[in-house]
Each structure stands twice: as structure tokens, then as C-alpha cells.
Amino acid sequence: MSENHHGQSVPRRSTAQTYLFGGFPLISVTDPDHLLAHAAAGYQSSCDADVVAEAAELVEVEQARVRLLDRLLVTTGRVGISVAGLPVIYGVVVDVGADLIVTSGAGEQVWALRSAAVIAVSGLAVGLRNESSGPVIPELTWPRYLRQLAGSEVRVHSRDGVIHVGQLAGVGADFFDLILSGAGLTSRVSTIALNGVIAVQTLG
């Protein structure tokens, strides 16, 4: 027992009520259930933090497996694609191949862009997690795509900065023929190597 400033006797608090382990001050606890609940809450908070950290690590690992190709495949909105030697090309991604990206823009103009020439893309879907069982190899290739345009007027952008305009004729395994057109030109055929092409733009 101890006395207060009025000289009245008051019960002395036990050490367990006044201090927690290690001698740190604690508000007086008279209900053991409250003490247990407090300890359980602290343990749960620690467990929750561990779970969040583990989940973040898993997301980071999965994100590291995602390719630009994967994000292009699931993007449905309008994107802006920066390609070496060309202005930014805006449109909706309509197909993606092993080495090309096909977009549809204003006036139904279609661009086929070489993937290796792409510098940056804006407007891609975010937060994609790779859940596929293995790599996806797109079926679309440059020869297959160009054969779909046979007979169409196109503008071909090559690596050397030259623009070839004409009608797309035959397409081989690694080349295509273009019947050139333009002022002062008589109909003549130019054979263009596919590995020298950065982009093909439809004119229809």
C-alpha cells in the first residue's frame, strides 16, 4: 500500500501491471484478455507484412519474364510507337508477329513496323503478369503479312532512309518486288531485301 497526496492509502500496482518485458513503460493492464489480444494483433501485423513482402517479390519475378510482345498482345487502346528514322506512329495494335507490329491508324492506314527498330511505346497495358506455360511464337511473319497486301499501293521505309513507293508484287522468303511509281518513273520493278525494311505503310 502507498499514500496519495491526501494521505489516503491506495493499492500499489504490481510490476507486471506497470511495466512490460524489458522494463518499458506500459499503460496499466488489468485484463489479461486485453493483453493477449494486443500481443496477437502485433503478431498478425508482422505476418501480414511478411506476406505483402513475399507477394511483391513474386510479382517482381513474374514481371521480369514479361516481354514487350506480351504487353502489345493485350493492349487494346491507342498507342504511340517511336521508330528509328520515323515520326511517332499512332494507332491501335491489330497484330503482332515474331519481328513486326501491325497498327491501324487514322483513315484506316495500316503500318507494319519492324520490332527491332522500335525505340519506345506509349499507352501499353500495365500490370501484366506472365501466366503462360511457355514462350508464345506468333505465326505472323513479314513474308506472310506482305503477301496479304499483294497488289496494294504501299510506302516502304528502308534502313538507309529511302522511301520506296509502288505496288507490292511478288514476295519471296527474304525479299519482295515493288513496282515503283512516281513522277518521271516508268513502271519498273525494284527488289527489296526484307532485312533492310523498317516499316511498310499502306496508301489505301
The structural domains of the chain, with segments of one domain joined by +, span 31-65, 68-202
The per-residue pLDDT for 136 is: 47
What is the SS3 string spanning 7-61?
Answer: CCEECCCCHHHHECHHHCECCCCCCHHHHHHHHHHHHHHHHHHHHHHHHHHHHHH
Neighbours of 171 (CB within 10 A): 19
pLDDT tens profile 48-85: 666 666 555 545 545 577 788 888 888 888 999 999 89
| pTM (two decimals) | 0.65
pLDDT tens profile 114-155: 999 999 999 988 755 544 444 444 589 999 999 999 999 999
- Residue 101's φ and ψ, nearest 5 degrees, are -125, 130
Neighbours of 90 (CB within 10 A): 15
CATH ID of 68-202, from 3.30.565.10, 2.30.30.600, 2.60.40.420, 2.70.98.30: 2.30.30.600
Beta bridge partners, 180, equal: 166, 188
pLDDT tens profile 168-179: 999 999 999 999
d(CA 104, CA 95) in angstroms, rounded, equals 9
Strand, helix or coil for residue 134: coil
